[in-house]
């Protein structure tokens, strides 16, 4: 599902791949919503992500609360896409033991 960014809120910008970022940062709307749903306040979110502006975080939370079904569907779609990508990658690269292989490769250089 592709969601367009709200026109009247400069708080959001939609990237060409459909991801929605907050303010002038690279922080995803998904991140703010997930942390908020896990019980963090706007102030706590800014403490975790100091690049964010408190007003932008409040705007993101307010937008989420007013459009919960749309944002939940957007996040579910992004998770589904991420899971599909992970599965595709894992068919090409065995994730078991990857850390050991990388460390072994690093010690050879």
Tell whether 7 is covered by a domain: no
Tell whether 48 is covered by a domain: yes
Tell whether 68 is covered by a domain: yes
Q: What's 56's domain CATH number?
A: 1.10.10.10
Q: Is 76 left (phi over 0), alpha (psi -120 to 50) or beta?
A: alpha
Per-residue confidence in pLDDT tens, the chain, 109 aa: 555 555 445 688 988 988 999 988 999 999 999 999 999 999 999 999 999 999 999 999 999 999 999 999 999 999 999 899 988 988 887 777 888 888 888 888 6
Tell whether 96 is covered by a domain: yes
pTM over 0.85: no
Q: How many Cβ atoms from other residues are within 10 Å of residue 32's Cβ?
A: 26
Tell whether 27 is covered by a domain: yes
Tell whether 6 is covered by a domain: no
State how many domains the chain has: 1
Q: Domain span at residue 97?
A: 12-108
Tell whether 91 is covered by a domain: yes
Tell whether 5 is covered by a domain: no
Helix, strand, coil percentages in the chain from 3-state DSSP, rounded to 5: 60, 5, 35
Place of tokens 């100091």: 50
């Amino acid at each position: 599902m592709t969601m367009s960014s709200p026109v009247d809120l400069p708080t959001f910008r939609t990237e060409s791949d459909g991801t929605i970022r907050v303010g002038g940062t690279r922080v995803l709307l998904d991140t703010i919503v997930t942390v908020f749903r896990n019980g963090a306040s706007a102030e706590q979110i800014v403490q975790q992500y100091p690049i964010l502006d408190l007003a932008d975080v409040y705007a993101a939370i307010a937008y989420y609360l007013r459009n919960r079904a749309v944002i939940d569907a957007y996040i579910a779609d992004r998770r589904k896409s991420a899971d599909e990508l992970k599965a595709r990658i894992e068919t090409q690269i065995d994730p078991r033991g990857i850390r050991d292989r990388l460390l072994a490769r690093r010690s050879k250089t």
